[in-house]
Amino acid sequence: KKEQLQLLASVESVTKDGYQMTLSSNISSVKELDMALKHGADGVGLFRTEFLYMDRVTFPSEEEQFEVYRQVTEMMGSRSVVIRTLDIGGDKHLDYFSLPEEDNPFLGYRAIRISLDRKELFKTQLRAILRASHYGKVKIMYPMISSVEEVRLANELLHESMSELDTRGIQYNHNIQVGIMIEVPAAVAIADLLAEETDFFSIGTNDLVQYVLAVDRMNEQIAHLYHPYHPAILRMLRSTVEAARNAGISVSVCGEMAGDERSIPLWIELGVHELSMSPQSLLRIKHRLLNTAAEEEKAVAKACYKLHTNTEIQKLLDDYHHSHR
Ligand code: PEP
Ligand code: MG
């Protein structure tokens, strides 16, 4: 079975009736990129850069970061690489950067909030990413965005970083695409406004589910309440994709749901054409896409939107998935 799946690595991901899906990989390291390439990733949809900052004693320098970003970019050739700026806080910590004790770390000093507070730290990373953009198709992505102001502030710092590189005479892609993660409910509610300020959306379902349902994604005691197929989530997915479509920007999905076969009807019915997932999931999802018809998937999703509970929706998607194997 594994060998058979491996044969699909170079096959284009398209349903029997012609619905194309770009299957990208989430990576945290060059080692994971090797696996992604082996499994035929069409791009890197989420480079989680926090791992560059972990297991060390100081923040990585611009030069150190640039080397890694450039390596990943060059390894991907003409395929795109979405580099997410630092997303520490919440469950991820750095030994050398002591964050205050917080009662609610997931509602606290985290991700873009840290970047906008620690501007030099942020600009160091932005310069490293910009420099890598000279070597391939790099895009920048901001995590945990909850307001238009945050996007504007981050972009101001991006422009400062660009000017600094200009002064140093260093090359980079001046038209680099800049997108945001949609993973906070407020971002879904103002997706139309955010879409005017950004080039793309990537839906981070891991955090989105946590924040929409008020269920800590790390707390095992309430893990049974963590419901990606809750009707509230389905509605949020729809309004995000519609806002992106109305504004003419692209939208992908990069949370764990993207690597779950049961979600495929939802993506196809919404008109999503890019999923980013762990390298281990790529071939499994591709296999499923090759063996289905978009029209059939859409009908299943339409039925989901008529149901009132997570239990019913999950059962419908489960049954449909099993009938497919
Ligand atoms: C997400 O929140 O869905 C996501 C992809 O980011 P992370 O899991 O790194 O928070
Ligand atoms: Mg997240």
Residue 55: the pLDDT is 85
Phi, psi of 14 (to 5 degrees): -150, 140
Asked if 47 and 27 count as a contact pair (C-beta separation under 8 A), the reply is yes
Ligand 1 center to 17 CA (angstroms)? 31
Q: CA 15, 200, 106 angle in degrees (round to 5)?
A: 105
Residue 199: the pLDDT is 98
**Ligand that lies nearest to the alpha carbon of residue 50, given by its number in the listed order:** 1
Structural tokens at position 4: 């058979």
Question: What number does the ligand 1 atom closest to the CA of 204 have?
Answer: 3
- What number of other Cβ atoms are within 10 A of residue 127's Cβ? 23
127 among annotated binding-site residues: no
Best residue among 25, 205, 206, 253 to mutate for probing ligand 1's pocket (most ligand atoms within 8 Å of CB) is 206
- What number of other Cβ atoms are within 10 A of residue 197's Cβ? 17
Ligand 1 neighbour 255 (Cβ under 6 A): yes
Phi, psi of 270 (to 5 degrees): -75, -20
Per 3-state DSSP, the chain is made up of helix, strand and coil in percentages (nearest 5) of 55, 15, 30
- Reduce the DSSP state of residue 86 to 3 states and report it: coil
Ligand 1 neighbour 183 (Cβ under 6 A): yes
pTM: 0.97
**Tens-digit pLDDT string for the chain (325 aa):** 888 999 999 999 999 999 999 999 999 999 999 999 999 999 999 999 998 999 899 999 999 999 999 999 999 999 999 999 999 998 888 989 988 889 999 999 999 999 999 999 999 999 999 999 999 999 999 999 999 999 999 999 999 999 999 999 999 999 999 999 999 999 999 999 999 999 999 999 999 999 999 999 999 999 999 999 999 999 999 999 999 999 999 999 999 999 999 999 999 999 999 999 999 999 999 999 999 999 999 999 999 999 999 999 999 999 999 998 7
Cα(102)–Cα(90) distance, rounded to whole angstroms?
A: 9
Which residues does residue 182 pair with via DSSP β-bridges, in sequence order? 203
Ligand 1 neighbour 28 (Cβ under 6 A): no
131 among annotated binding-site residues: no
**Ligand that lies nearest to the alpha carbon of residue 143, given by its number in the listed order:** 2
Best residue among 92, 141, 183, 226 to mutate for probing ligand 1's pocket (most ligand atoms within 8 Å of CB) is 183
DSSP string covering 115-132, please? HHHSHHHHHHHHHHHHHH
Residue closest by Cα to atom 7 of ligand 1: 206
207 among annotated binding-site residues: yes
Ligand 2 center to 203 CA (angstroms)? 9
Cα(122)–Cα(114) distance, rounded to whole angstroms?
A: 8
Ligand 1 center to 202 CA (angstroms)? 10
Ligand 1 neighbour 90 (Cβ under 6 A): no
- What positions carry a catalytic annotation? 254
Asked if 73 and 108 count as a contact pair (C-beta separation under 8 A), the reply is no
